[in-house]
């Protein structure tokens, strides 16, 4: 158990819908990262927050947004969903910038 | 941008033999390198790391080698065990910057 929790574990929805994925980092970790993994592909970095502020952006679509709240939990919002958005979404946390990341179990999103 | 590359999508070795997983990077600012292991339906877990001031780090059956001049690192697993079968991700970061991951190499260790 990495100490990072993600909910829900599975999510099935239809195209055009909007979903919210939630992540609680390890206690004491200030950085939260979101990654997408599609069909056994590599981890695609989406976005990073550090202590509530957006720190870095990767290959995140404009239809996607995220935020980190004062209690340091984070949410990833995916809107106008397309079939190609079906993937595993991982959240990770770390104590600081560039430090070892601890990953949550992931949320499997299926868009039908 | 592919700053971290794992050019072998898969590797198959016999139990008891050595597994060597390779990783190349392009950003000379990277100074911290990690390997993660991922089983199906689970999140990646940290395996071993190395900082740029070292060229080798060992932890039990796992050894990571860093060749800064070649911008190359490798993970050696000796002896390989069936339980090592997983996807291995190489990752790199520069000081105070986000981490970049490779595409992963699927290791299969055959009994």
A35 min Cα distance to partner chain B (Å): 10
Residues near B44 by Cβ (< 8 Å), separated by ≥ 6?
A43, A90, A92, A103, B36, B37, B38, B89
Is residue B67 within 8 Å of residue B73, measured between CB atoms?
Answer: yes
pLDDT digits (tens, 9 = 90+) for B63-87: 999 999 999 999 999 999 999 999 9
State the Cα–Cα distance between residues A47 and A55, nearest whole angstrom.
Answer: 8
Mutate to test the interface with B, among A33, A43, A93 (most CBs of B within 10 A): A43
Contact yes or no for B95 and A40 at CB 8 A: no
Contacts (Cβ under 8 Å, ≥6 apart) of A40: B87, B104, B106
The pLDDT confidence band at residue B107, using thresholds 50, 70 and 90, is very high
Count the Cβ atoms, other than its own, within 10 Å of residue A4: 23
Please name the residue of chain A whose CA is at the shortest distance from the CA of residue B99: A98
pLDDT range class, residue A97, cuts 50, 70, 90:
confident
| Interchain contact, B98 vs A4, CB within 8 Å | no
**Among A88, A82, A90, A106, residue whose Cα is nearest residue A13:** A82
What A66-75 contacts at long range (C-beta under 8 Å, 24+ apart), as own/partner pairs, is A66/A34, A68/A32, A72/A24, A72/A25, A72/A29, A72/A30, A72/A32, A73/A22, A73/A23, A73/A24, A73/A25, A73/A32, A74/A22, A74/A23, A74/A25, A74/A32, A74/A34, A74/A49, A75/A20, A75/A21, A75/A22, A75/A23
Interface test with A, best of B36, B98, B101, B107 (most A CBs within 10 A): B98
DSSP structure class, residue B14: E
Q: How confident is the model at residue A25 (pLDDT cuts 50, 70, 90)?
A: very high
Q: Report the residue from B32, B96, B101 with minimal CB separation from A42.
A: B101
From the CA of A17, how many Å to the nearest CA of chain B?
24
Averaged pLDDT of chain B: 93
Which helix H or strand E contains B110, and what residues bound it? strand B105-110
| Residues in B touching A2 (Cβ below 8 Å) | 43, 45
Chain A residues close to B35, C-beta within 8 Å = none
- Residue B24 CA neighbour count, 13 Å, CB half: 8
Share of chain B above pLDDT 70, in %: 95
Cα–Cα dist A52/A66, whole Å: 11
């Amino acid at each position: 158990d990495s100490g990072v929790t993600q909910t829900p574990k599975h999510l099935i929805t239809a195209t055009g819908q909007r979903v919210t994925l939630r992540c609680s980092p390890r206690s004491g970790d200030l950085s939260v990262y979101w990654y997408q993994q599609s069909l056994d592909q590599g981890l695609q970095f989406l976005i990073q927050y550090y202590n509530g502020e957006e720190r870095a952006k990767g290959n995140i679509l404009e239809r996607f947004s995220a935020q980190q709240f004062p209690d340091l939990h984070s949410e990833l919002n995916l809107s106008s969903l397309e079939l190609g958005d079906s993937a595993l979404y991982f959240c990770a946390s770390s104590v600081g910038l560039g430090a070892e990341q601890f990953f949550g179990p992931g949320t499997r999103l299926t868009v039908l | 941008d592919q700053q971290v590359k794992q050019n072998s999508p898969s590797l198959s070795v016999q139990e008891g033999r050595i597994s060597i997983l390779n990783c190349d990077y392009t950003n000379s600012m990277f100074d911290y390198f990690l390997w993660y292991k991922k089983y199906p339906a689970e999140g990646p877990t940290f395996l071993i790391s190395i900082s740029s001031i070292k060229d080798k780090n060992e932890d039990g059956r796992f050894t990571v080698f860093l060749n800064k001049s070649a911008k190359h690192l490798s993970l050696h697993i000796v002896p390989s065990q069936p339980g090592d079968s997983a996807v291995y991700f190489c990752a790199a970061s520069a000081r105070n910057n986000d981490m970049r991951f490779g595409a992963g190499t699927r290791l299969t260790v055959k009994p």
